[in-house]
Chains A and B, each alone.
Chain A
Amino acid sequence: MNKYFHSVILDSEKCTGCTNCMQKCPTEALRVKDKKAIILNERCIDCGNCIIACPYHAQKAVAENLDALKNYKYKIAIPATTLYGQFMSEVNVDTILQSVKDLGFDYVYDEVIGSDLARILIKNYIKIHGNNTKPLISSHCPSITRLIQSKFPTLMNNIVKIESPMEIAARLVKLKIKEKYGYELSEIGVFYITPCPAKITSIKNPIGIKKSYVDGAISINEIYGDIYKNIKKNRGKETENFMSGSTQGIEWALAGGQSKSLNLTNYIVVDGVENACKIFEKIELGKLNHIDYVEALACTGGCVGGALNVENPFVAENNFRNLLKENKDGITINEKYAIDLCKAGFVCWTEELIPKEIDELSSDIRIAFKKMEKINKLVKELPGLDCGSCGSPTCQAFAEDVVNGLSSIEFCVFSKNNDTQGYDNK
């Protein structure tokens, strides 16, 4: 797989080159060239900010559609827990899940079982590593993991090396169906119904494991209407019992839910990439060595704020509050069973994380040094307005782009030979 596969892509027909996305990208991964945005793949962490920011809906995530189901004999949906909060709170979750099943799946598996198993493993991980490494950092959000990989590589060791609920659920359900019906693994298709572009990337290009057990992802916003129609049909009818996870596990859809379910007392919950960066800066400075756990999530409010959701995150959060009123334990997971699965490398990371050197100007420090001198000189000549008209997010980034050969000085509107990238210069 291409080392820089990304789910977030741009529909250049819709793109007007307005620079809204560029200004909102937390990793400076966007540029505008010839009136079209482009994503610098090695910098993108799939946070989806650009999808939310684009007024023309030109930024989107590549995902599967329901046609992909026909490639498999047995089709399983794992809806992300956030789906439970996408409809008015009086719609029963089993009705939602039945309505997903009716789209053509043979089985629907509750992602929350994955969170419940992960919870056991994280507790165990904290017990083993929590005294030596402080703070441990949750691996729940793949966008954050990628952020650490490229911007805070010294913190890679702080990440809890346990798979996401999505991946754990996919592994458990595939084995279950294989045993029950005798299908080959390749005949079973597991589809994640996702609010999250970063999770789509993790399926194709996983972090910490060799290969994902999820076969495809379908965006919530892509099939929301279809689910909604089925809900109308299914309302008030008997449905199967899909929900098998605990209330605590459901709360993982909200920022802080994970820490709460771990019964932690000394922890930080942070949402939004920029806020997370501030916390990671402090950890790197050794200022948070007294904290046990950091739950960092790229989206506002946690996964309810995922870019591929439909419902407003704050409304969805309220839907969840209603759902969380009732306290259910879910199916019991044996602790030893969970830990053995982890030891076997089935639900925990088996692969080393490798830092991504996206900032390096050259692998030869002398060349990098020369480039840096040129950048510094150029920055002094630029107006420092960070206006974005040149197609780079800031004057500093523009200077870097020019020196790296990605842009050219005349794109600066203040440059003597300015040619504003083909915009009409009235």
Chain B
Amino acid sequence: MSLVNSEAGLIKLEYDIVQNDFSRAGEASSNLKKVLKQLGVPHQIIRRVAIAAYEAEINIVIHSNGGKITAKISPEYIVLIAKDNGPGIKDIKLAMTEGYSTASNKVREMGFGAGMGLPNIKRCADVFDIQSKKDSTQVTIKISFNLE
């Protein structure tokens, strides 16, 4: 699951996310939460990271052909990069609207895909960026720990 290596003063954690695998969604978020607790990051900030990571996981599970979440942690901040393998988002502005969703009925019946994923991630982030091409979407966010 998590491939850990430390590079250039950052702790890097990687989580593979499998398309349609709802049962495992949440593992990345849960693991990140533990890591940040060990570092002593304030609880409310950990909660924001956990929500952002979870929504990113669910997005990849529902909408893409699978992907990966990478966390890069420094003593000051965390950067999350959620990258999937297509099909890309046609209209990013629309996708960022609360309540807008392209999730299938089946997925909605399971209680997911209410069209809150991306807006929720943005709300949790200090810095938010989204790039989408035909074969891949990448959401990058940064959350500062505000320790000093």
Residues of A within 8 A of B (CB): 153-154, 281, 284-286, 355, 357, 359-366, 368-369, 372-373, 376-377, 379-380, 400
Contacts and interface: CB of A to CB of B under 8 A. Distances in A.
Given A285-B51, A285-B54, A363-B40, 16 more contacts: A281-B26, A284-B50, A284-B51, A360-B37, A360-B40, A361-B39, A361-B40, A362-B40, A365-B39, A365-B40, A369-B39, A369-B73, A369-B74, A372-B11, A373-B11, A377-B6
Contacts of A286: 51
B70 to A, nearest CB: 14
A359 B4 contact: no
A372 B26 contact: no
Q: Which one of B29, B39, B41, B145 has the highest number of Cβ atoms from chain A below 10 Å of its Cβ? A: B39
A281 B39 CA distance: 19
Contacts of B40: 357, 360-365, 368
Main secondary structure of the interface of B (DSSP, over half): helix
Interface of B: 4-6, 11, 26, 29-30, 33-35, 37-41, 43-44, 46-47, 50-51, 54, 73-75, 145, 147
A359 B34 contact: yes
B147 A368 contact: no
Contacts of B38: 359-361, 368, 372, 400
Nearest to A277: B30
Contacts of A377: 6
A373 B34 contact: no
A373 B46 CA distance: 19
B65 to A, nearest CB: 24
27 contacts: A154-B43, A154-B47, A281-B26, A284-B33, A284-B47, A284-B50, A285-B26, A285-B51, A285-B54, A286-B51, A359-B34, A359-B37, A361-B40, A363-B40, A364-B40, A365-B40, A365-B41, A365-B145, A368-B39, A369-B39, A369-B74, A369-B75, A372-B11, A373-B6, A376-B4, A376-B11, A377-B6
Contacts of B44: 154
Contacts of A366: 75
A362 B40 CA distance: 7
A268 to B, nearest CB: 14
A285 B147 contact: no
A24 B54 CA distance: 27
B5 A376 contact: yes
Contacts of A362: 40
B2 to A, nearest CB: 9
A386 to B, nearest CB: 14
A241 to B, nearest CB: 50
Contacts of B145: 365
Contact of A355 (B43, B47, B51, B147): B43
Contacts, number: 63
Contact of B75 (A154, A281, A285, A365): A365
B143 to A, nearest CB: 14
Top 9 closest pairs, chain A to chain B, by CB: A359-B37, A376-B4, A360-B40, A368-B39, A365-B75, A369-B75, A373-B6, A361-B38, A153-B43
A230 B64 CA distance: 68
B76 to A, nearest CB: 8
Contacts of A373: 6, 11
Q: Which one of B37, B46, B51 has the highest number of Cβ atoms from chain A below 10 Å of its Cβ? A: B37
B96 to A, nearest CB: 18
A373 B26 CA distance: 23
B16 to A, nearest CB: 16
Nearest to B112: A287
B4 A380 contact: yes
A355 B35 CA distance: 17
Contacts of B54: 285
Contacts of B34: 359
Given A285-B29, A359-B37, A365 B43 contact: no
Contacts of A400: 38
A242 B81 CA distance: 64
Contacts of A365: 39-41, 75, 145, 147
A283 to B, nearest CB: 10
Contacts of B37: 357, 359-360
Nearest to B53: A285
A372 B41 CA distance: 13
A373 B54 CA distance: 24
A404 to B, nearest CB: 10
A284 B47 CA distance: 7
Nearest to A376: B4
B80 to A, nearest CB: 15
